[in-house]
Chains A and B, each alone.
Chain A
Amino acid sequence: MDILIGITTKDSVLIATSKSVARGVSVIKTNDDKTRELTDHSLLAFSGESGDTTNFAEYIQANIRLYGTRNGFEMSNKAIASFTRNELASALRSRKPYQVNILIGGYDVKKKKATLNWIDYLAANVELPYAAHGYAQYYVLSLLDRHHDPNMTQEQGLELLKDCIKELRLRMPIDFKGVQVKVVDEAGVRKLPEDF
């Protein structure tokens, strides 16, 4: 029931993740961070089987940081997505696959272009203008189909994201304790102070 939403705008990517962690019938955390920073301009958001999620995300984070320090330059966003896909794909046909769904938001400082990669637990990787995982998909994708514009500003993107969250609060059967929003743009990755 976790929520992951990603929206690209003209010069940034917005990634929203739900703040609740639930075990069975109990909510055990209301300020969870379902993201990890891979490089200065790349953010990984994840949902799925707990345990697998943080383990896999931190494994990817560590490997991409290692690549950066070893080579003196960071991996491109396309390479990060391919690497992550490959790790998921080789785990898929192993004894115990990772059951993790992923969004990777990145900003290329040289090309001045924001990218968003959607990867599911089967390791299908696609680059999209906007994406979501889990049940949230059913509610927000149609909204995004109607209102998303690749040339929209960051402010317009945030307004659209707010509309998506409003719809989710109305339609989702359980409380997801709001979402945390992170922005990836020219300046890097930052968390928005306001509560969504």
Chain B
Amino acid sequence: MAGKDCIAIACDLRLGMQSVGVSSNFEKIFEYDSVYLGLTGLATDVITLSEEFRMKHNMYKMREERRMEPDTFANLVSSSLYEKRFGPYFVGPIVAGLNSKTGKPFICGFDLIGAIDFAKDFIVAGTATDQLYGMCESLWEPDLEPEDLFETISQALLNAQDRDALSGWGAVVYIITKDKVVKRLLKTRQD
């Protein structure tokens, strides 16, 4: 979610096999310096891709001797996913970050083969997509301050995951501003 000179990204913590819950501490958001990547979908591909992007991001930093911008990272995600066009990774990624030069919020989502969906309000992914669209559409408004953005994204995620049988078991929220990143664990229903 984008706010006024800030962004927020959040995920639930459940890892499951169909109806069986396996772990209640499986984070789906990964940090690449100031760029944040959320990965939903097949757990094995979530792990594989998060590690592959860690490698590619580190290689870029060493080669270019500078940090990667969020829009650059988005194009890296897109081309990496399209490389596997005919045997894709089963994931629904989202990228969020603040541009280090302009300070402007950047958020985008992808399908499993890397088609980018740019947005200036919010991006959702995962099994609770329908519910999240409903919540975000009604709660989000332009130019939210960091603390209001936290409340908005938390309520959107919490109420969406409670209406989805496959999501939940805890939640994590990151609030990212120019000079501070706050990570909060939310207490949620455990059923």
Chain A residues packing against B (C-beta within 8 Å): 85, 89, 92-93, 118, 120, 122-126, 128, 131, 137-138, 141
Residue of B26, B42, B44 most packed against chain A (CB within 10 A)? B44
Chain B residues packing against A (C-beta within 8 Å): 15, 17, 20, 22-23, 25-26, 42-44, 47-48, 87
- Cβ-defined contact, A126 with B22, below 8 A: yes
Q: How far is the CB of B113 from chain A (nearest CB, A)?
A: 15
Residues of A within 8 A of B17 (CB): 120
Q: How far is the CB of B128 from chain A (nearest CB, A)?
A: 20
Q: How far is the CA of A85 from the CA of B48 in the complex (A)?
A: 9
- Cβ-defined contact, B47 with A137, below 8 A: no
Residues of A within 8 A of B42 (CB): 122, 124
* Besides the known contacts A89-B48, A123-B48, A126-B26, 7 further A-B residue pairs in the complex with CB atoms under 8 A apart: A93-B87, A122-B42, A122-B43, A123-B44, A125-B47, A126-B23, A138-B20
Q: How far is the CA of A137 from the CA of B43 in the complex (A)?
A: 18
Q: A122-B42, A126-B15 are in contact. Are A85 and B47 (CB under 8 A)?
A: yes
Pick from A85, A123, A124: contact of B15, CB below 8 A.
Answer: A124
- Cβ-defined contact, B44 with A128, below 8 A: no
The dominant DSSP class at the A interface is mixed
Residues of A within 8 A of B26 (CB): 126
Q: How far is the CA of A90 from the CA of B186 in the complex (A)?
A: 35
Q: How far is the CB of A139 from chain B (nearest CB, A)?
A: 12
- Cβ-defined contact, B20 with A124, below 8 A: no
Pick from A118, A122, A138: contact of B44, CB below 8 A.
Answer: A122
Q: How far is the CA of A141 from the CA of B42 in the complex (A)?
A: 22
Q: How far is the CB of A47 from chain B (nearest CB, A)?
A: 15
Residues of A within 8 A of B20 (CB): 137-138, 141
Q: How far is the CA of A141 from the CA of B47 in the complex (A)?
A: 24
Instruction: List 14 interface pairs A-B (beta carbons < 8 Å), by A numbering.
Output: A89-B47, A118-B23, A122-B43, A123-B47, A124-B15, A124-B42, A124-B43, A125-B47, A126-B15, A126-B23, A126-B43, A128-B22, A131-B22, A141-B20
Residues of B within 8 A of A89 (CB): 44, 47-48
Q: How far is the CA of A138 from the CA of B18 in the complex (A)?
A: 12
Q: Which chain A residue has the least Cβ–Cβ distance from B21?
A: A141
Residues of A within 8 A of B47 (CB): 85, 89, 123-125
Residues of B within 8 A of A120 (CB): 17
Q: Which chain A residue has the least Cβ–Cβ distance from B20?
A: A137
Q: How far is the CB of B99 from chain A (nearest CB, A)?
A: 33
Q: Which chain B residue has the least Cβ–Cβ distance from A90?
A: B48
Q: Which chain B residue has the least Cβ–Cβ distance from A118?
A: B22
Residues of B within 8 A of A141 (CB): 20
Q: How far is the CA of A126 from the CA of B15 in the complex (A)?
A: 9
Q: Which chain B residue has the least Cβ–Cβ distance from A126?
A: B23
Q: How far is the CA of A122 from the CA of B42 in the complex (A)?
A: 9
Q: How far is the CA of A128 from the CA of B26 in the complex (A)?
A: 10
Q: How far is the CA of A85 from the CA of B22 in the complex (A)?
A: 17
Q: How far is the CA of A32 from the CA of B4 in the complex (A)?
A: 63
Q: How far is the CA of A125 from the CA of B26 in the complex (A)?
A: 10
Q: Which chain B residue has the least Cβ–Cβ distance from A123?
A: B44
Q: How far is the CB of B18 from chain A (nearest CB, A)?
A: 11
Q: How far is the CB of A42 from chain B (nearest CB, A)?
A: 20
Q: How far is the CA of A185 from the CA of B106 in the complex (A)?
A: 49
Q: How far is the CA of A92 from the CA of B26 in the complex (A)?
A: 21
Q: Which chain B residue has the least Cβ–Cβ distance from A93?
A: B87
Q: How far is the CA of A93 from the CA of B87 in the complex (A)?
A: 9
Q: How far is the CB of B39 from chain A (nearest CB, A)?
A: 13
5 smallest beta-carbon distances between A and B, as pairs: A124-B43, A123-B44, A122-B44, A126-B23, A124-B44
